Amino acid sequence: MTSNFNVLLNVLEQKLIVIGSASATTSDLNEEDAEAALIFDCSALCQIGNVKGNLIGMYALSPPLFELLAKHLQLTNSKLARQYPAVHYGVLKTLYSHCAAHEHFIHNSDLFKQSDTTNVMSLTSLTKDNFEDLLKLHHRLIVNSHLSCHDTKKLVLNWLAEIIDALPQEDNGLLTLPLLLKLSHAIIDIAYSDEEEICNLCCRLLNKIVKRQRDLDVSFLVRLFDLCRFWLQSNETSIHDSYYAILCCLPVNILTSKFPTHGTLLSSKNDYSGFASIVKRNHMNTPYLGTFTTHCFNLILGYILVNHQMPRMYATTWLERLFQSCQRKSNNGASKDEHLPENQHRLLSYEQLPNFGNDALIWFWAIWECAQFCVMNKLKTPLGKPQETFLALE
């Protein structure tokens, strides 16, 4: 298997796998055949990995299967994850299958038995560090999740949910361990994903963490509050309701500590709400491009002034679709980015904000564009002459 793996690493110009004192070997297969062979190898290893611990020891595998999959096969290699997502997912799925068959190596982990000196078996066990290594692997995969395919991200998050459910119920301090707390912070980062399914999976995970552990780290709870505040503005009902449920579980002192003290709302370092404010200001400084048409103006003002309803198919997405239709080159051929100053960061633009399914932001864009349309046309709009337009808006 490692020889086939080295074929791909050779293509990526990465360091080849060397196990023990043996020299690196490379299969004579081409890239495509090596990839297919590796996926087959993963399927075969699943059968071996599912064998219970006392039986798999009889195979005398060297290195052990967990070590081969988690350490030697480079699951955190960003180039491998990008260029060979099927192989990356296959290896991770094989590791998951092996760990699930052994209850994720939780019960013989030294992570929970640091004060237990009488349990000699836990100290001499070959798998006593597996759970800790597994959590470190999950942390690196989540931090670099932008390099992984959608299915890989789903697998990692569902796997973490299983691990949290499998943690010993009698120990209430597990989630305050530094490694698990670090992992919880990483989950908050990926929860700002623009993929609805990933966002919901993160919400499910965070909900489990909050309900399981009441005395969580304050910095984690503050960041979780910021996350909930951001997604409460989502136009997806499922996301809005899920994060509202988490918000209701947060301690009162965390909620009240975010109230204004000197006229401004307190925010954590990674609060996306502050980022959204910068995006709004940058959009207000962008010159009028002419892509917001009379039709757009009619749709928005019709909805606001006379409650004109959209077809059921577009009832929740019409405004976002309208926004996307305006992100094109203007009639004079100049794109939006050409008007931005050189020192203005391109990421701080509306279309780059994580998951635009955000009602507060999209309505700000709509109202601002309507106001600009009125100014540019000197209040001569479909609502009538300047005086009529002014009265209608008033």
Give one DSSP letter per residue of 335-372, joined into a string: -GGGGS-TTS-TTSSGGGSS---BHHHHHHHHHHHHHH
pLDDT greater than 60 at residue 259: no
Distances (CA, A) of 98 to 51, 52, 63: 8, 9, 15
Distances (CA, A) of 378 to 138, 283, 295, 299, 368: 57, 21, 17, 19, 15
The mean pLDDT value for 118-138 works out to: 72
Task: State the Cα–Cα distance between residues 173 and 166, nearest whole angstrom.
Answer: 14
Domain ranges in the chain are 1-110+125-166, 192-267, 272-393
Three-state secondary-structure class, residue 381? strand
Q: Residue 82: how many CB atoms within 10 A of its CB?
A: 14
Position 24 scores a pLDDT of 55
Omega prior to 386 cis, within 30 of 0: no
Average confidence score pLDDT of the chain: 77
The answer to whether the Cα torsion of 384, 387, 391, 394 is positive or negative is: positive
How far, in whole angstroms, is CA 132 from its chain's centroid? 22
Of 15-24, 105-114, 276-285, minimum mean pLDDT range? 15-24
pLDDT greater than 60 at residue 100: yes
- Please tell me whether the overall predicted TM-score, pTM, comes out greater than 0.85 for this model: no
pLDDT tens digits for range 78-95? 888 888 888 899 989 999
Task: State the Cα–Cα distance between residues 288 and 373, nearest whole angstrom.
Answer: 8
Position 265 scores a pLDDT of 43
Q: Which residue has the higher pLDDT, 41 or 274?
A: 41
Residue 71 in tokens: 């350490």
pLDDT greater than 80 at residue 378: yes
Eight-class DSSP state of 176: G
Q: Which residues contact 387 (CB under 8 A, 6 or more apart)?
A: 379
Q: Which residue has the higher pLDDT, 5 or 35?
A: 35
The answer to whether the Cα torsion of 91, 47, 201, 351 is positive or negative is: positive
Residue 309 in tokens: 């309803």
Give one DSSP letter per residue of 298-348, joined into a string: HHHHHHHHH-PPPPGGGTTTHHHHHHHHT-S--TTS--GGGGS-TTS-TTS
Q: Report the DSSP beta bridge partners of residue 358.
A: 234
pLDDT greater than 70 at residue 350: no
Position 172 scores a pLDDT of 62
Task: State the Cα–Cα distance between residues 116 and 55, nearest whole angstrom.
Answer: 27
pLDDT tens digits for range 329-339? 655 544 444 44
